[in-house]
Amino acid sequence: MFKSIHHSGIVVSDMAKSEKFYCNVLGMQVAERRERIGGAINSVVGYKETHIECVDLYFGEGHLIELIQYHIPEPKDRPTDERSYLGASHIAFLVEDIHSTYQKLIDNGAHSMNPPIEVAPGKSVVTFRILMVTGLSLLNFLDRNEFF
């Protein structure tokens, strides 16, 4: 029986910078840190030899974001930020004020793909291409907890 979504994993190139961004800029908290070398993690990720560092982050309850830095094997950049590629496309965060969030992210070096756009009456969304902490992650920020 399925109950809920537990976490989403994001592969990062620099754990210290990534943790600083997610904690200091987005306001997340560290739930757990761990390092895995070989053994069971090889089977989980499908590599013969693996060394990863993980940090689980949260906003206080619910869904976790798992930052993962691969030391072995060497991480690879994603080839594109084209939105139509199959697979996971983004993670969306609910915010109180889309405009102040937009400015805070810009001030902290994030790259916006668009300014806040009203996609439905009273609901705005902005997409950021987060390059400074990951090879390529698309993060959406919305100001209303409804689908558009």
Looking at residue 22, which CATH number applies to its domain? Answer: 3.10.180.10
42 part of a folded domain: yes
| Number of H-type helices and E-type strands within the chain | 3, 9
Name the pTM for this structure.
Answer: 0.85
- Asked whether the beta carbons of 48 and 39 are under 8 A apart, the reply is no
Q: Are residues 66 and 20 in the same domain?
A: yes
Name the residue with higher pLDDT: 75 or 139.
Answer: 75
Q: Is the pLDDT of residue 129 over 70?
A: yes
- Domain carrying residue 106: 91-142
Q: Which residues pair with 124 in a beta bridge?
A: 118
Query: Per mean pLDDT, which range of 2-16, 83-97, 126-140 is the poorest?
Result: 126-140
| Residue 78 forms part of a structural domain | no
Number of domains in the chain: 2
pLDDT tens string 76-97: 877 766 777 777 778 888 888 8
Rounded Cα distance, 42 and 148, in Å: 40
> How many angstroms from the chain centroid is the CA of residue 29?
14
- Is there a contact between 147 and 98 (Cβ–Cβ < 8 Å)? no
Statement: residue 62 has pLDDT above 90: no
**Whole-number Cα distances in Å, 104 to 2, 5, 26, 63, 121:** 36, 28, 9, 23, 24
Residue ending a domain, among 72, 99, 123, is 72
In a domain, 81, yes or no: no
Which of 100, 103, 104, 108 lies closest to 131 in space, CA to CA? Answer: 108
85, part of any domain: no
For the chain, the 3-state helix, strand and coil shares in percent, each to the nearest 5, are 20, 40, 45
- pLDDT, mean of residues 64-86: 84
Please determine, for residue 121, whether its predicted confidence score (pLDDT) is greater than 90. Answer: no
